[in-house]
């Protein structure tokens, strides 16, 4: 067993009750089995390894963000899916994973979780849609942070690669990346290894991974088979108890994203708000009737008072923070419009573009919409 594997077993045994029904089985199955990243100049790497194991370092300058030092100013590991590096304008969002949260600074909630887990779960899920479970601190979140600290222990420099040349930044302008490290002369993809060790499912809520999809699928399959982490028998105080609901939500949204991209491929008049190039092209479509595809924030209806038009209502479809696509109209019309029921859903909206202060928008009158 590698040094990394021994440390992982110790960390998990200290932070978590067993997530497996068989203690002896967990002792052997929890140790990391790293899958090497193979450098290649082509789209596929020649290897006798199964395709799901072979991972490829990019040689495409459009995908390579670069090599950066782990942060020296602040602790580089915030939690299992938040890693800090020096020298970038924004933080990182790691593609393909979504680990549970750490408890952060709320000692009261942490004490409640430790003392009365059912009461803690009830409190964290008050007033939320059970189909879209919230995130909150858990012992598994703490264990995932410890795993990341161990994984990056002794590492000073990491390699950051984008997953897709047209999707480099997320809604909050964070870099959407895979984070790779070199150990013993080989490269390892942390994103995939976090899934392989059972710290997170393969996270597809915002779309399937373009470059490492097979590796993520194989890693989750292995973690499930070995009952690692979240895939073990849930103990009294451990992981989210509602992964079936989370996975249903994520996979349904991923399927809607797939349908959206298929529709766009067949119809060039569809503009995907998540695509920066499409959004910039919308700014040249003043007065033209087009279709935009994206996620609606139906619960956030903004009211603005004007001198000549009275109360105006604004709904937003997500593009980037402080630069979303607006649907506008009389407040009373917006308040009662049926499109608000599609809060959080991916939809196609057809209307006539107008430009307001440099940003494209639709007037609510005359729009049609369709749920993807």
DSSP 111-127: HHHHH-HHHHHHHHTTT
Q: Quote the CA–CA distance of 252 and 250 in Å, as a whole number.
A: 6
Q: Cα 290 to the chain's mean position, in Å? A: 29
Rounded to whole angstroms, the Cα distance separating 229 from 223 reads 8
- Note whether 63 and 81 are within 8 A (CB): no
CB contact burial 232-261 (16+ within 10 A = b; e otherwise):
beeeebbbbebeeebeebbeebbebbeebb
pLDDT of 56: 65
Q: Is 139 helix (H, G, I), strand (E, B) or coil?
A: helix
The pLDDT assigned to 300 comes to 84
Provide the 8-state DSSP code for 101.
Answer: B
What pLDDT does residue 29 have?
35
Q: What pLDDT was estimated at residue 158?
A: 96
CA distance 24 to 18: 10
Using CA atoms, how far residue 291 sits from 232, 250, 351, in Å, is 45, 24, 7
Q: Give the C-alpha separation, 302 to 72, whole Å.
A: 41
What pLDDT tens digit does each residue of the chain (372 aa) get? Answer: 443 444 444 344 434 443 433 333 333 333 344 444 433 222 233 333 433 344 568 889 999 999 999 999 999 999 999 999 999 988 999 999 999 999 987 788 999 998 999 999 999 999 998 899 999 999 999 999 999 999 999 999 999 999 999 889 999 999 999 999 998 888 999 999 999 999 999 999 999 999 999 999 999 999 999 999 999 876 545 899 999 999 999 999 999 999 999 999 999 889 999 998 999 999 999 999 999 999 998 778 999 998 888 899 999 999 998 899 999 999 999 999 999 999 989 999 999 999 999 999 999 998 999 999
* DSSP assignments along 147-192, one per residue: HHHHHTTT--EEEEEES-TT--B-TT--EEEEEEEEETTEEEEHHH
Question: Who contacts 245 (Cβ-Cβ below 8 Å, separation ≥6)?
Answer: 130, 131, 132, 133
How far apart are the C-alpha atoms of 19 and 236, rounded to whole Å? 10
Q: What would the DSSP string read from start to end of 249-295?
A: HHHHHHHHHHHHHHHHHH-TTEEETT-HHHHHHHTT-TT-EEEEEEE
Cβ(252)–Cβ(233) under 8 Å? no
SS3 state of residue 40: coil
pTM, two decimal places? 0.82
Side-chain half-sphere exposure of 5, counting CA atoms within 13 A = 13
Question: Rounded CA gap, 209 and 163, in Å?
Answer: 7
Q: Are 192 and 202 in contact (CB under 8 A)?
A: no
Helices (H) and strands (E) in the chain, counts: 10, 16
């Amino acid at each position: 067993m590698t040094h990394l594997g021994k440390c992982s077993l110790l960390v998990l045994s200290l932070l978590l009750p067993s997530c497996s029904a068989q203690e002896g089985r967990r002792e052997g199955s929890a140790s990391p089995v790293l899958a090497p990243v193979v450098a290649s100049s082509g789209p596929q790497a020649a290897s006798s390894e199964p395709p799901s194991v072979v991972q490829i370092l990019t040689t495409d300058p459009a995908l390579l963000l670069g090599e950066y030092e782990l942060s020296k100013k602040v602790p580089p590991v915030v939690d299992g899916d938040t890693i800090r590096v020096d020298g970038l304008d924004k933080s990182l969002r790691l593609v393909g994973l979504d680990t549970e949260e750490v408890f952060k600074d709320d000692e009261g909630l942490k004490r409640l979780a430790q003392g009365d887990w059912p009461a803690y779960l009830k409190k964290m899920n008050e007033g939320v849609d059970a189909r879209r479970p919230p995130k909150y601190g858990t012992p598994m979140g703490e264990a995932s942070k410890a795993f990341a600290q161990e994984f990056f222990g002794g590492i000073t420099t990491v390699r950051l690669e984008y997953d897709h040349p047209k999707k480099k930044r997320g809604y909050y302008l964070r870099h959407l990346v895979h984070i790779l490290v070199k150990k013993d002369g080989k490269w390892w993809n942390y994103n995939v290894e976090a899934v392989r060790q059972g710290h997170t499912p393969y996270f597809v809520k915002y779309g399937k991974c373009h470059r490492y999809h097979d590796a993520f699928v194989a890693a989750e399959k292995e973690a499930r088979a070995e009952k690692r982490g979240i895939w073990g028998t849930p103990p009294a105080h451990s992981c989210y108890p509602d992964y079936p609901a989370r996975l249903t939500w994520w996979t349904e949204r991923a399927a809607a994203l797939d349908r959206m991209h298929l529709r766009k491929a067949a119809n060039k008049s569809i503009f995907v708000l998540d695509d920066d190039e499409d959004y910039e092209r919308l700014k040249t479509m003043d007065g033209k009737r087009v279709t935009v595809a994206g996620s609606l924030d139906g619960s956030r209806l903004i009211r603005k008072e004007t001198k000549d038009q009275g109360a105006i209502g604004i709904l937003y479809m997500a593009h980037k923070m402080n630069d979303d696509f607006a649907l506008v109209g009389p407040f009373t019309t917006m308040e009662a419009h049926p499109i608000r029921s599609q809060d959080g859903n991916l939809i196609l909206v057809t209307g006539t573009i107008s430009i307001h202060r440099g940003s494209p928008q639709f007037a609510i009158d005359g729009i049609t919409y369709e749920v993807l």
